[in-house]
A and B are shown apart, each in its own frame.
Chain A
Amino acid sequence: MNNYMDKIMAFVENNLSAKLQGATKNAYISGLQSAVSKTIPMIFVSSIITIYNIIRNFAPFLPNLSAISNYSFGLIGLFMGFLVPFYILEKKENKNKYIGGLTGLALYMMTVNPTVTDAGYVYNFTSFGAGGMFVAIIAGVFVVFVFSCFKKFTVFGEDSAMPDFCKEWFDTLLPIFTVIFAGWFVILNCKIDLYSILVNVFRPILDISSTYIGMLLMLLIPTIFYTMGISGWIFSPIFTPIQNTALAANIEAWAAGQPLPFIYTAGLNPGYLKLGGQGNTLPLNYFFLFSKSKRLRSLGKAFLVPGLLNINEPIIFGTIVWNPILMIPCWITAIVNLTMTYLAMRMGLVLAPHVTMGMWYLPVPIPAILVGGIPGLILCLINLGLDAFIWYPFFKVYEKKVMAEDGELEMGKESRYVSS
Chain B
Amino acid sequence: MYKILLACGAGASSGFVALSMRKSAKKLNIKAEIKAVSDIEIMNYVDDFDILLLGPHIKYKLAEIEAELIGRPVKVLVMDKKRYGALDGAGILEDALAAMQE
Contacts and interface: CB of A to CB of B under 8 A. Distances in A.
A373 interface: no
Contacts of B13: 306, 311-314
A347 B64 CA distance: 46
Given A302-B87, A317-B81, A318-B82, A309 B12 contact: yes
Contact of A229 (B9, B10, B56): B56
A21 B40 contact: no
Nearest to A13: B59
A24 interface: yes
B45 to A, nearest CB: 14
B16 A25 contact: no
B59 A37 contact: no
Q: Could you tell me the dominant secondary structure of chain B's interface residues?
A: helix
Interface residues of B, number: 26
B42 to A, nearest CB: 10
B28 interface: no
A327 to B, nearest CB: 14
Contacts of B16: 305-306, 311, 314
Nearest to B8: A313
A37 B38 contact: yes
Interface in A247-304: 299, 302-303
Contacts of A321: 81, 85
Contacts of A25: 63-64, 67
Contacts of B82: 317-318
B10 A317 contact: no
22 contacts: A18-B60, A21-B60, A21-B63, A21-B64, A25-B64, A33-B40, A37-B38, A299-B86, A306-B13, A309-B12, A311-B12, A313-B8, A314-B13, A314-B16, A314-B87, A316-B57, A317-B56, A317-B81, A317-B82, A318-B82, A318-B86, A361-B12
Interface of B: 8-10, 12-13, 16, 38-40, 55-64, 67, 81-82, 84-87
